Amino acid sequence: MPLVTSTEMFKKAYDGGYAIGAFNVNNMEIVQGITEAARDLSAPLILQVSKGARAYANHTYLVKLVEAAVIECPNIPIVLHLDHGPDFETCKSCIDGGFTSVMIDASGKPFAENIEITKKVVEYAHDHGVVVEAELGTLAGIEDDVKVKSEDSSYTHPEEVEEFVSKSGCDSLAIAIGTSHGAYKFKPGTKPQLRFDVLEEVSRRLPGFPIVLHGSSSVPKEFVEKINKFGGNMPGAVGVPEDQLRHAAELSVCKINIDSDLRLAMTACIREHFAEAPSDFDPRQYLKPARQAIKDMVSHKIVDVLGCDHKA
């Protein structure tokens, strides 16, 4: 089947109490690892591309890699999504260039300006059969070259969501309930806790509307430990507990964004490989197990966190 939008996927996920995994792609091995996992588990899938990914790999290469995955995985619906679109022009370029979904992230702008920019993207996207994710509230962490310090982040204000969605016309909404980007989400030694009260109030105000969670890597200890054991230096890396993500998926969260965990799996695998086989220099020797590590990580997310296996 050709690339699809997320409309049907989100409806089924909302009603079924599960979420769709949105995984970031930057090269061929990452695309292959993710899509092979989803194909084997018959799981609907969102592949997302950031501004940084487009700068690294080039728009055309990424679109063609995803189109190849669509041919290789005829049994599952796949969405090609722009992650954190910074402005109208970037969203337009992706809409014109084959994406089926875009995010306009104007969450750092004042409320009225966020609505105005989002509405402009929605009008253009909907005219071209593309859906739009917007964001209200600010996550801490690093996205491309934008760093948000935790003291500058803010939870979504539930009392703003109805006006935002009705005036902007967005198709899904990313909210801030305590997740953040990257591998250092919570202070080591403290108990991570997402604000389910905020999520529940947002859902009460937007019944049936798909909610998105960014910054949803769990930063598994075993991978951080392996990275540190084989020459890395990632002290104090902490992620979102997987049981809290599972609970969010049972509520109104229909899309869960995961990037850092794939980076950790790949890096841990490659560091271990070089430590144990220092004479290897053929990239296939270390990229093959790295691709498998991504596949294993995504399979685990699909079954144990998202609950979206056999939902295609």
Per CB under 6 A, 256 contacts ligand 13P: no
CB burial of residue 234 (10 Å; 0-12, 13-18, 19+): middle
Size of the site for ligand 13P (CB under 6 A): 14
Size of the site for ligand G3H (CB under 6 A): 10
Per CB under 6 A, 192 contacts ligand G3H: no
**Beta strand segments in the chain, E:** 20-24, 45-50, 78-85, 101-104, 131-136, 141-143, 146-148, 172-175, 211-213, 253-258
Minimal distance in Å, beta carbon 3 to ligand 13P?
19
Per CB under 6 A, 81 contacts ligand G3H: no
List binders of ligand G3H among 241-270 (CB under 6 A). 259
Minimal distance in Å, beta carbon 24 to Zn ion?
9
Is 83 marked active-site?
yes
- From the list ligand 13P, ligand G3H, Zn ion, none, pick the one residue 258 interacts with, judged by a Cβ distance below 5 to 8 Å according to partner type: ligand 13P
Per CB under 6 A, 87 contacts ligand G3H: no
Minimal distance in Å, beta carbon 261 to ligand G3H?
10
**DSSP string for 152-214:** G-B---GGGHHHHHHHH--SEEEE-SS-BSSSB-S-TTS-----HHHHHHHHHHSTT--EEE-
Q: 70, 3 in Cβ contact below 8 A?
A: yes
Minimal distance in Å, beta carbon 217 to ligand G3H?
8
CB burial of residue 88 (10 Å; 0-12, 13-18, 19+): middle
Binding site for ligand 13P (CB under 6 A): 24, 83-84, 181-182, 214-217, 257-261
| Chain residues that interact with ligand G3H, rule: CB under 6 A | 24, 50, 52-53, 83-84, 143-144, 181, 259
Q: Which residues does the annotation mark as catalytic?
A: 83
